[in-house]
Amino acid sequence: MEIEKNEGVFSGLTILAFCWAVVGPLTMKFFADHGATVIRVETSKRPCVMRVSSPYKGNVPNLNRGGYFNFYNSNILSLTLNMELPEARAIAKRLALKCDVFMENYTPGNMEKWGLSYEELRKERPDIIMLRQSGYGSWGPYAKLPAFGMVLVPIAGLPNYIGWPGREPLPVGVSAYTDCISPRFAAAALIAALDYRNKTGKGQLLDLSQFETALYFILPGILDYAANGREPTRIGNSSPYAAPHGVYPCRGDDRWCTIAVFNDDEWKTLCREMGKPEYAEAPRFNTLLNRKKNEDELDRLISEWTAERTPEEVMEQLQAAGVAAGVVKNTADIYEDPQLRQRGMFWKMDHPEMGPFTHLGQSFILSETPAKPLRPSPLLGEHTEYVCTKLLGMSDEEFVDLFQKGVFE
């Protein structure tokens, strides 16, 4: 099997990656989508949690038919190695030393156990770049604790900002929300490290903690406590300095829209569009402070208007008039969203087991070197032979011998 040479910014760059769950592939995606050869190590002995997560094609559990896994792993190669065997560990080490970058987001301790610590690898390759990206950092009192995005969300304090006043805090509805935070920080740092090595010849160890990077998403709240001793309170959908500001019911099953008004002009426009110009100057609504004071009544009156319209109608009418408003989009809406489609957020590719299947595409647009769908997500071990014989130069004999020993399970 031949893999065509990738085009792209990272063409020629090779990365060996021990990825787990979402954080690994999302981080590697930035490189694989721009031409890097990313070799993901997996094993059938303990498949990635994503491969054994629903939904499945045809609703039948199958390691190669998981929608969750296949959504996030396009352009990545899969090499299976049973790391319990010394031969497999030797192959992993040979590859780590040969590749430009060694990335991992396993629970700390695993790489050390397999002889793949930064210290070990650096002895043989002083300029190696290793990226570690575990839940709580590769060292420290929580290092050995397995991390789940679902648990990191509350530990990083996010639910303090989700909920109605006086009621319980709620999780972010998109589970494992923090999983998309550290990949961006990690990718930026890793590219800086590659550039640094190109200029100085020096490699390095990069250690990121999913917990620590998630705190950057509530940073103003942390500073508010540090400076003022104030803890956050839950405020539902309101804003301290805007009214109306919220989510309003619309016509249809579980249909909603948002409306946010930040100044008097927008308020007057909204009243006109609702056919209630008299609200604009009504004493209970004529200033921001009065609207805040009478917010419950304000929201009720707006709800009466929105309830007779679809969210699309509200969005189109108000946006045309210059008021910020939007559809609260469910997954079907996102899937069809004309803006996201035009921007290439989805890549439909033929997958050998899934058939035509939508993979996650790019998250931003580069004018000269756009991200490209090169190949669908890999079958488990799909590229094992290619990596061993072509990249490592193993003879067919050696490969078959190792295969029979179960090294590639």
Partner 1 sequence: MLSHCRALDLTDEKGFLCGKILADLGADVIKVERPGGDHSRNIGNFWHDIPDPEKSLYWFAYNSNKRGITLNIETADGREIFKKLAKTADFVIESFAPGYMDKLGIGYSTISDLNRGIIWASITPFGQEGPYRDYKDSDIVVMGMSGTMYQTGERDEAPLHISMPQACLHAGADAAVGSMIAYYHREKTGKGQRVDVSLQHSAAWFQANAIPTYELSGGILRRAGAFRVGMSKDVGQRQVWPCKDGYVFFNVIGGKQGAKLLRALTEWMDSEGMATDYLRNKDWDNFDMFTIGREEMASIQEPIGEFFKTHTAKELWNGAVPRQISLGPLSSMQDLLEDECLKARNFWKEIEHPELGTTITYPRQFVQSSEEDCSTRFRAPLIGEHNEEVYSSIGLTREELVILKQAGVI
Pick from 34, 89, 309, 383 the residue near partner 1 by CB under 8 A. Answer: 34
Pick from 1, 60, 289, 332 the residue near partner 1 by CB under 8 A. Answer: 332
Note if 296 is an active site residue.
Answer: no
The residue type at 233: T
Among positions 292-311, residues that touch partner 1 (CB under 8 A) are none
Instruction: Identify each DSSP E strand in 56-128 by its residue range.
Output: 77-80, 101-104
Pick from 24, 25, 137, 378 the residue near partner 1 by CB under 8 A. Answer: 137
- 241 sits near partner 1 (criterion: CB under 8 A): yes
Which x/- pattern over 309-328 shows residues binding partner 1 (rule: CB under 8 A)?
----------x--xxxxxxx
Among positions 243-262, residues that touch partner 1 (CB under 8 A) are 245-249, 254, 256-260, 262
What minimum distance in Å lies between the beta carbon of 24 and partner 1? 14
Residue from 33, 100, 127, 179 carrying the catalytic annotation: 179
Backbone angles phi, psi at 52, to 5 degrees: -110, 25
SS3 of 402, please? Answer: helix
Which x/- pattern over 5-24 shows residues binding partner 1 (rule: CB under 8 A)?
----xx-----------x--
What minimum distance in Å lies between the beta carbon of 389 and partner 1? 29
Sign (positive or negative) of CA dihedral 100, 105, 111, 112? positive
SS3 of 261, please? Answer: coil
How big is the site for partner 1, counted in residues (CB under 8 A)?
153
The CA radius of gyration of the chain, in Å to the nearest whole number, is 26
The answer to whether 344 touches 365, Cβ cutoff 8 Å, is yes
Cβ distance to partner 1 smaller for residue 240 or 275: 240
What minimum distance in Å lies between the beta carbon of 308 and partner 1? 17
What minimum distance in Å lies between the beta carbon of 388 and partner 1? 29
Which among 284, 268, 377 has a CA at the least distance from the CA of 323?
A: 268
What minimum distance in Å lies between the beta carbon of 198 and partner 1? 7
Find the part of the chain contacting partner 1 (CB under 8 A) among 94-102, 133-141, 389-397, 399-407.
Answer: 133-141
My answer on whether omega of the bond before 352 falls inside 30° of 0, hence cis, is no
Q: What is d(CA 55, CA 15) in angstroms, rounded to the nearest whole number?
A: 29
- 174 sits near partner 1 (criterion: CB under 8 A): yes
Q: What is d(CA 379, CA 366) in angstroms, rounded to the nearest whole number?
A: 29
- 60 sits near partner 1 (criterion: CB under 8 A): no
Among positions 177-196, residues that touch partner 1 (CB under 8 A) are 177, 179-181, 184-189, 191-196
Among positions 202-231, residues that touch partner 1 (CB under 8 A) are 202-209, 211-213, 215-228, 230-231
What minimum distance in Å lies between the beta carbon of 159 and partner 1? 6
Helical segments of 261-357, H only:
264-273, 277-281, 288-293, 295-306, 311-321, 331-336, 338-342
What are the Cα distances from residue 165, in Å, to 169, 222, 257?
Answer: 9, 20, 21
The answer to whether 118 touches 146, Cβ cutoff 8 Å, is no
Residues composing the chain = 409
Q: What is d(CA 80, CA 379) in angstroms, rounded to the nearest whole number?
A: 10
- 169 sits near partner 1 (criterion: CB under 8 A): yes
Find the part of the chain contacting partner 1 (CB under 8 A) among 54-62, 275-283, 289-297, 390-398.
Answer: 54-62
Pick from 365, 393, 395, 405 the residue near partner 1 by CB under 8 A. Answer: 365
Backbone angles phi, psi at 189, to 5 degrees: -65, -40
Catalytic residue positions? Answer: 179
